[in-house]
Amino acid sequence: MEEGSLRCDANVSVRPMGSTTLGTKTEVKNMNSFRNVERALEFEINRQIALIEDGGTVIQQTLLWDANQNVAVAMRSKEEAHDYRYFPDPTSSPFSSMRSRSHGSVRRFPNFPAPAPGQVCQGT
């Protein structure tokens, strides 16, 4: 971020409304702006929903975001969860996205956690 650049990877998993079990996870890579993060997540969420609604199954894999074509293409498959080698960030709040066919996409972002004492800087 010092250079004004951004690189983001995201894991996406959808589940039926009311279900507590997460679906199969995919990882989307190569997003380099907030606009591309939004487009890539919307693309992958819609892809997974359409695939499941058509009777298919989501394959655990890594997808590469192509910002020029606004598509995510398969980069490599992930056979096991340990292939991801990621650790949840204890300071990040969970993100929830809901989609309604009749009302388009609805996004809800959680509140940020309160800063720990000493983390807040006051201007002088």
> 118 in helix, strand or coil?
coil
Whether residue 62 contacts residue 27, with contact meaning beta carbons closer than 8 Å, is answered with yes
Q: Spell out the residues 6+ positions from residue 54 whose beta carbon is closer than 8 angstroms to its own.
A: none
Position 40 pLDDT exceeds 90: yes
pTM (2 d.p.):
0.61
Position 115 pLDDT exceeds 80: no
- If one compares 5 and 47, the residue with the highest pLDDT of the two is 47
| Per-position b or e across 20-59, b if 16+ CB within 10 A of its CB | eeebbbbbbebbeeeebbebbbebbbebbbeebeeeeebe
Model confidence band, residue 13 (pLDDT cutoffs 50, 70, 90)? very high
Closest CA to 10 of 103, 68, 72, 101: 72
